[in-house]
Structure 1
């Protein structure tokens, strides 16, 4: 049995391979696929695997792009950090899932379902997109901030960008005001509307209107100039450039 693992987080990929190895010791695992581009290259250059484990959020974008660019005929089990509501909806499309961090019992159950299949399940990318478009209604629309003894509500639409400095997270508004938030950038990345905000790097999440200039930089990276920001070294990594351009293009 040949199993393809598409996962950009090395610790997560290593753990998944270990767990699969315990359940399917004779399986041949391919686990060095960590981007949309490398997945497309592998799938177009190799026979269909018997099973695919695929993370939804990769460094260079959502893995849906893989299936839009190349025909995939293998059963797919998604690994995802999305909440339980969205995950349950995957079953409508006969696709199983594993919620991160992966539970060994859940993995065993998913493999058991795969082994019971007589025919490969159909893969409907539009159905999956509909599920996540529905989930977009739950993105955070405002933040409570403390100003002295007062508590104020700031609309997400007022946020120019978010940044981290000395382990403190700040919200910077278009009016130039900044406020401390009780969230990490990792948490905010999952709370914010992805059409409006993009995680540039470890320190910045930017709104579309706050981007003033974009410059090419060494090693295929991009340098970003944000409005009302003194940091002139905001870089988008090579792995994120494709996803960033797609975000800009809307």
Structure 2
């Protein structure tokens, strides 16, 4: 954890450092910066720290001027001998507001609150990533199909493409066999790995191996031919061409 100290009183700065090291020995301390000008210069030359401990009244003015000129996302614990700045402090990324002389327990509580928020934010980000990025293990490895009275399981790697005809979804294998699926083409698209299958248009969802030819077509579109497919008009719209090429090139 990297902590920057902005404090114009050297004894107060030394006390802060001692208290932080006592309760958080692994913390890496930066500073002490004792003015607005030095602080602005520091931020323009260094990456943002994890946490800032900042006195409100500095040698050359009120520290809020720093954050008016330098846009930061770093949480701040403000320290001051006065309480009239509390409302303003919480408008500038403040997670706490400590009055001098600083009680070591209050400082420890404030830093612990920052760490708890950091852990919670990390967990929430991981949850969000899991929601946005499909888990590869959730993709189907095979599809259950019926052929007359017979039920059969088709491995995904044996599938050439899926297509929709008259609101019925079909699965076609690399051997040219065709089966009816109970799911819609939209539902099927969500069940297969997008690294291996691409939605060409509203009627076709194709594997990479099934694509036999790609040709330029009018209005910046592409025309595609698929193995074991007699449809001569499989077109990729101009809007999807870029995504299609990116998929081919990954």
Per the normalisation by structure 1, the TM-score is: 0.48
Higher relative contact order (CA 8 A, sep 6+): 1
Structure-2-length-normalised TM-score: 0.48
Select the structure of larger CA radius of gyration: 2
